[in-house]
Amino acid sequence: MSRLDQFILRLEMQRTLLDHACALLNELGEAMPGPVIELGLGNGRTFDHMRAKLPGRRIVAFGRELHANPKSLPPPGDFILGDIRSTGPAFAEEHGPIAALLHADLGNGVPADDRVLEVWLPGIVHSLLRPGGQALCSTRLVHERLRPLAFPSRSPKYEYYYYEAI
Ligand SMILES: C[S@@+](CC[C@H](N)C(=O)[O-])C[C@H]1O[C@@H](n2cnc3c(N)ncnc32)[C@H](O)[C@@H]1O
Protein backbone atom coordinates (compact mmCIF):
# COMPACT_ATOMS: atom_id res chain seq x y z
CA MET A 1 0.00 0.00 0.00
CA SER A 2 1.45 3.40 -0.96
CA ARG A 3 1.91 6.21 1.54
CA LEU A 4 -0.91 8.03 -0.24
CA ASP A 5 -3.22 5.04 0.32
CA GLN A 6 -2.19 4.96 3.99
CA PHE A 7 -2.76 8.69 4.37
CA ILE A 8 -6.27 8.42 2.93
CA LEU A 9 -7.09 5.47 5.21
CA ARG A 10 -5.75 7.40 8.20
CA LEU A 11 -8.00 10.38 7.50
CA GLU A 12 -11.00 8.08 6.94
CA MET A 13 -10.26 6.40 10.26
CA GLN A 14 -9.98 9.75 12.03
CA ARG A 15 -13.29 10.90 10.59
CA THR A 16 -15.06 7.63 11.46
CA LEU A 17 -13.84 7.66 15.05
CA LEU A 18 -14.32 11.39 15.58
CA ASP A 19 -17.88 11.19 14.23
CA HIS A 20 -18.60 8.25 16.53
CA ALA A 21 -17.10 9.90 19.64
CA CYS A 22 -18.75 13.26 18.93
CA ALA A 23 -22.17 11.64 18.43
CA LEU A 24 -21.78 9.86 21.76
CA LEU A 25 -20.78 13.09 23.46
CA ASN A 26 -23.73 14.95 21.93
CA GLU A 27 -26.06 12.24 23.23
CA LEU A 28 -24.60 12.62 26.72
CA GLY A 29 -24.78 16.42 26.59
CA GLU A 30 -24.78 17.98 30.07
CA ALA A 31 -24.27 14.55 31.63
CA MET A 32 -20.68 14.71 30.33
CA PRO A 33 -19.58 18.31 30.86
CA GLY A 34 -16.17 19.73 30.08
CA PRO A 35 -14.14 20.78 27.10
CA VAL A 36 -12.68 18.76 24.29
CA ILE A 37 -8.88 18.68 24.14
CA GLU A 38 -6.97 18.43 20.88
CA LEU A 39 -3.32 17.47 21.42
CA GLY A 40 -1.42 18.48 18.27
CA LEU A 41 -3.38 21.15 16.41
CA GLY A 42 -1.21 20.87 13.29
CA ASN A 43 -3.09 22.11 10.23
CA GLY A 44 -6.31 22.16 12.26
CA ARG A 45 -8.28 19.67 10.17
CA THR A 46 -9.38 17.39 13.01
CA PHE A 47 -9.92 20.43 15.25
CA ASP A 48 -12.19 21.92 12.57
CA HIS A 49 -14.08 18.63 12.23
CA MET A 50 -14.76 18.36 15.96
CA ARG A 51 -15.80 22.02 16.03
CA ALA A 52 -18.37 21.31 13.31
CA LYS A 53 -19.67 18.17 15.06
CA LEU A 54 -19.81 19.61 18.58
CA PRO A 55 -21.61 22.96 18.46
CA GLY A 56 -21.37 24.80 21.75
CA ARG A 57 -18.58 22.60 23.14
CA ARG A 58 -15.31 24.38 23.98
CA ILE A 59 -12.23 22.87 22.30
CA VAL A 60 -8.81 23.58 23.79
CA ALA A 61 -5.98 22.85 21.36
CA PHE A 62 -2.30 22.30 22.16
CA GLY A 63 0.72 22.53 19.88
CA ARG A 64 4.33 23.54 19.77
CA GLU A 65 3.60 26.14 17.09
CA LEU A 66 0.50 27.84 15.71
CA HIS A 67 0.55 27.15 11.99
CA ALA A 68 -3.00 25.97 11.37
CA ASN A 69 -5.01 27.02 8.35
CA PRO A 70 -6.55 30.43 9.17
CA LYS A 71 -10.02 28.83 8.85
CA SER A 72 -9.14 26.43 11.67
CA LEU A 73 -7.70 28.66 14.37
CA PRO A 74 -8.94 28.25 17.94
CA PRO A 75 -10.18 31.43 19.59
CA PRO A 76 -7.64 33.36 21.69
CA GLY A 77 -7.21 31.60 25.00
CA ASP A 78 -8.09 28.18 23.63
CA PHE A 79 -4.68 27.46 22.11
CA ILE A 80 -1.94 26.33 24.48
CA LEU A 81 1.45 26.96 22.91
CA GLY A 82 4.44 24.82 23.82
CA ASP A 83 5.67 21.29 24.23
CA ILE A 84 2.83 19.10 25.51
CA ARG A 85 5.26 17.27 27.78
CA SER A 86 5.22 20.55 29.81
CA THR A 87 1.95 22.24 28.86
CA GLY A 88 -0.16 19.08 29.36
CA PRO A 89 0.83 18.52 33.00
CA ALA A 90 0.61 22.29 33.70
CA PHE A 91 -2.95 22.40 32.30
CA ALA A 92 -3.95 19.31 34.31
CA GLU A 93 -2.43 20.84 37.44
CA GLU A 94 -4.41 24.07 36.96
CA HIS A 95 -7.77 22.61 35.83
CA GLY A 96 -7.79 18.98 36.92
CA PRO A 97 -9.16 16.13 34.79
CA ILE A 98 -11.87 18.07 32.96
CA ALA A 99 -11.90 16.88 29.35
CA ALA A 100 -14.99 15.06 28.10
CA LEU A 101 -13.18 13.98 24.94
CA LEU A 102 -9.52 14.11 23.96
CA HIS A 103 -7.96 13.56 20.57
CA ALA A 104 -4.19 13.17 20.38
CA ASP A 105 -2.55 13.15 16.96
CA LEU A 106 1.13 13.76 17.66
CA GLY A 107 2.77 11.16 15.50
CA ASN A 108 4.91 11.85 12.45
CA GLY A 109 4.70 8.39 10.88
CA VAL A 110 8.10 7.32 12.21
CA PRO A 111 7.67 4.17 14.35
CA ALA A 112 10.66 4.96 16.59
CA ASP A 113 9.13 8.35 17.47
CA ASP A 114 5.83 6.63 18.29
CA ARG A 115 7.66 4.42 20.79
CA VAL A 116 8.87 7.60 22.57
CA LEU A 117 5.34 9.04 22.59
CA GLU A 118 4.01 5.82 24.08
CA VAL A 119 6.20 6.42 27.14
CA TRP A 120 5.11 9.92 28.15
CA LEU A 121 1.68 10.42 26.55
CA PRO A 122 -0.57 7.93 28.46
CA GLY A 123 -0.12 9.62 31.86
CA ILE A 124 -0.81 13.07 30.42
CA VAL A 125 -3.92 11.88 28.57
CA HIS A 126 -5.28 10.28 31.73
CA SER A 127 -4.55 13.37 33.83
CA LEU A 128 -6.62 15.54 31.45
CA LEU A 129 -9.69 13.28 31.07
CA ARG A 130 -12.66 13.15 33.39
CA PRO A 131 -13.91 9.65 34.34
CA GLY A 132 -15.94 8.33 31.44
CA GLY A 133 -14.21 10.71 29.04
CA GLN A 134 -13.18 9.31 25.67
CA ALA A 135 -9.69 9.41 24.18
CA LEU A 136 -8.87 8.91 20.53
CA CYS A 137 -5.21 8.60 19.72
CA SER A 138 -2.88 7.87 16.84
CA THR A 139 -0.53 6.24 19.38
CA ARG A 140 -1.15 3.24 21.61
CA LEU A 141 -1.82 4.32 25.21
CA VAL A 142 -1.06 1.72 27.85
CA HIS A 143 -2.41 2.95 31.21
CA GLU A 144 -4.24 1.06 33.93
CA ARG A 145 -7.01 3.67 33.99
CA LEU A 146 -7.55 3.90 30.23
CA ARG A 147 -9.86 1.12 29.06
CA PRO A 148 -9.85 0.22 25.34
CA LEU A 149 -13.22 0.75 23.63
CA ALA A 150 -14.63 -1.08 20.62
CA PHE A 151 -14.46 0.67 17.26
CA PRO A 152 -17.64 1.34 15.33
CA SER A 153 -18.37 -1.58 13.02
CA ARG A 154 -17.82 0.43 9.84
CA SER A 155 -14.26 1.47 10.79
CA PRO A 156 -11.56 1.33 8.11
CA LYS A 157 -8.68 -1.05 8.79
CA TYR A 158 -6.15 1.43 10.10
CA GLU A 159 -4.21 1.48 13.37
CA TYR A 160 -5.80 4.02 15.69
CA TYR A 161 -6.67 3.77 19.38
CA TYR A 162 -9.85 4.45 21.36
CA TYR A 163 -10.17 4.49 25.16
CA GLU A 164 -12.39 5.50 28.05
CA ALA A 165 -10.97 6.95 31.26
CA ILE A 166 -11.95 5.00 34.39
C1 LIG B 1 0.06 15.01 12.68
S2 LIG B 1 0.06 16.70 13.17
C3 LIG B 1 -1.62 16.95 13.69
C4 LIG B 1 -2.57 17.13 12.54
C5 LIG B 1 -3.97 17.50 12.95
N6 LIG B 1 -4.64 16.38 13.61
C7 LIG B 1 -4.76 17.94 11.75
O8 LIG B 1 -5.78 17.28 11.43
O9 LIG B 1 -4.41 18.94 11.12
C10 LIG B 1 0.92 16.66 14.70
C11 LIG B 1 1.13 18.01 15.34
O12 LIG B 1 1.50 17.79 16.71
C13 LIG B 1 2.58 18.65 17.03
N14 LIG B 1 3.35 18.03 18.11
C15 LIG B 1 3.99 16.82 18.08
N16 LIG B 1 4.57 16.58 19.25
C17 LIG B 1 4.32 17.66 20.05
C18 LIG B 1 4.69 18.01 21.37
N19 LIG B 1 5.45 17.20 22.14
N20 LIG B 1 4.25 19.19 21.87
C21 LIG B 1 3.49 20.01 21.11
N22 LIG B 1 3.11 19.74 19.85
C23 LIG B 1 3.53 18.58 19.31
C24 LIG B 1 3.36 18.79 15.74
O25 LIG B 1 4.16 19.95 15.75
C26 LIG B 1 2.24 18.83 14.69
O27 LIG B 1 1.79 20.15 14.52
Q: How many residues does this entry show for the chain?
A: 166
CA–CA distance, 138 with 132 (Å, rounded to integer)? 20
Q: How far is the CA of 39 from the centre of ligand 1 (A)?
A: 7
Q: Which residues line ligand 1 (CB under 6 A)?
A: 40, 42-46, 63-64, 83-85, 105-106
Flag whether the pTM goes above 0.85: yes
Q: How far is the CA of 138 from the centre of ligand 1 (A)?
A: 11
Per-residue pLDDT, 109 = 85
Report pLDDT digits (tens) over 68-108: 999 999 998 999 999 999 999 999 999 999 999 999 999 99
CA–CA distance, 61 with 55 (Å, rounded to integer)? 16
Measured by CA distance, the residue closest to atom 10 of ligand 1 is 106
Instruction: Say if residues 59 and 47 touch (Cβ distance below 8 Å).
Output: yes
Q: How far is the CA of 96 from the centre of ligand 1 (A)?
A: 23
Ligand 1: nearest atom to the Cα of 85: 19
CA–CA distance, 127 with 12 (Å, rounded to integer)? 28
